[in-house]
């Protein structure tokens, strides 16, 4: 991994796609002016409203081309957070794209864990009715480092992150629209745990503000491999900046070699569905 200045964008995306993309450009410019070479957006940065499937985008299309052009204009690695992508009959996918400084797509990842919950008298929601899940764990091998990609609810499934770490990931890129109700209890604990147990940097960009179904939590974070929070947002739109240092990564893994000490002979998890995209 190279030494990286990373920029994290916390947005309050709404139902106006043009306004969301206008704000995205402003945030990319702000992060790039502060030296960021890797910029990460939250989940569904392009549209957050009552009809997600109805606002699914074609790829290539308006949204993907806008993000691609921003990556090229500012010469950065740009992670779009995620987009609702019109790709599967009946159900779109919730898909992240990582664009290189030349504007080309390096990697794409579709959210694999669907939030399906039914609590009688309380919450009932089946994400899988609206969104088609992905079937691959994805890493992007770039000139800056090896990035593991994930989206929101994925952070509750440690197996995914262990497979990415054991496949060589240095940094986890997490795009989210995490609710305030659960975020206040679980967000920081889950993110810091994913960093500590795998000895990886965590970049977690979250939505903020009132959405159609809930209030988003905000509190986007950049976390070091030892669990130290390097930067944290409040509950308003903003850009976070922090340095990711390969020496810190190496020192942390040497001090606590949990990846080396694991017993795969007892609890092996198949890596057959891991895909590594090369730049």
Based on its alpha-carbon atoms, the radius of gyration of the chain, rounded to whole angstroms, reads: 17
Peptide bond into 41 cis (omega under 30): no
Which position among 152, 188, 200, 211 bears the catalytic label? 152
Q: Which residues contact 270 (CB under 8 A, 6 or more apart)?
A: none
72 has catalytic annotation: no
Q: Is 274 left (phi over 0), alpha (psi -120 to 50) or beta?
A: beta
3 has catalytic annotation: no
Which position among 43, 46, 108, 188 bears the catalytic label? 43
Give the CB-side neighbour count of residue 99, counting CA atoms within 13 A: 27
Q: What is the largest CA-CA distance in the chain?
A: 52
Q: Determine the 3-state secondary structure of 176 from DSSP.
A: strand
180 has catalytic annotation: no
Which position among 37, 46, 80, 111 bears the catalytic label? 111
Instruction: Give the start-end residues of each E strand in 101-206.
Output: 105-110, 116-118, 124-126, 137-141, 146-151, 171-176, 201-206
Q: Where are the alpha helices (DSSP H) in the chain?
A: 17-33, 62-74, 158-166, 180-182, 188-198, 246-255, 258-261, 264-267
| Exposure b/e, 189-203, CB count within 10 A at least 16 = b | ebbbbbbbbbbbbbb
Q: How far apart are CA 87 and CA 96, in angstroms?
A: 13
Q: Which residues are catalytic?
A: 43, 111, 152
């Amino acid at each position: 991994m190279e030494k990286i200045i990373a920029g994290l964008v916390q947005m309050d995306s709404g139902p106006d796609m043009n306004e969301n993309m206008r704000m995205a450009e402003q945030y990319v410019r702000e992060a790039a002016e502060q030296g960021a070479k890797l910029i990460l957006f939250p989940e569904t940065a392009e549209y957050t409203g009552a009809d997600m499937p109805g606002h699914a985008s074609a790829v290539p299309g308006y949204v993907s081309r806008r993000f691609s052009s921003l990556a090229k204009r500012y010469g950065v690695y740009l992670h779009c957070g995620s987009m609702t992508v019109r790709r599967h009959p009946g159900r779109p996918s919730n898909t992240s794209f990582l664009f290189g400084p030349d504007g080309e797509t390096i990697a794409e990842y579709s959210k694999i864990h669907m939030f399906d919950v039914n609590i009688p008298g309380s919450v009932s929601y089946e994400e899988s009715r609206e969104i088609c899940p992905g079937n691959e764990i994805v890493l992007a091998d770039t000139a800056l480092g090896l990035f593991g990609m994930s989206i929101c609810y994925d952070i509750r499934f440690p197996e995914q992150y262990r497979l990415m770490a054991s496949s060589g990931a240095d940094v986890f890129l997490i795009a989210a629209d995490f609710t305030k109700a659960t975020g206040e209890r679980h967000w920081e604990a889950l993110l810091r745990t994913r960093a500590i147990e795998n000895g990886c940097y965590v970049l977690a960009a979250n939505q903020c503000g009132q959405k159609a179904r809930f209030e988003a939590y905000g509190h986007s974070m950049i976390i070091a491999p030892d669990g130290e929070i390097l930067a944290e947002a409040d509950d308003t739109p903003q850009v976070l900046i922090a340095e990711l240092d390969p020496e810190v990564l190496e020192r942390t893994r040497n001090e606590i070699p949990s990846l080396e000490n694991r017993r795969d002979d007892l609890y092996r998890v198949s890596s057959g569905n891991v895909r590594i995209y090369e730049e």
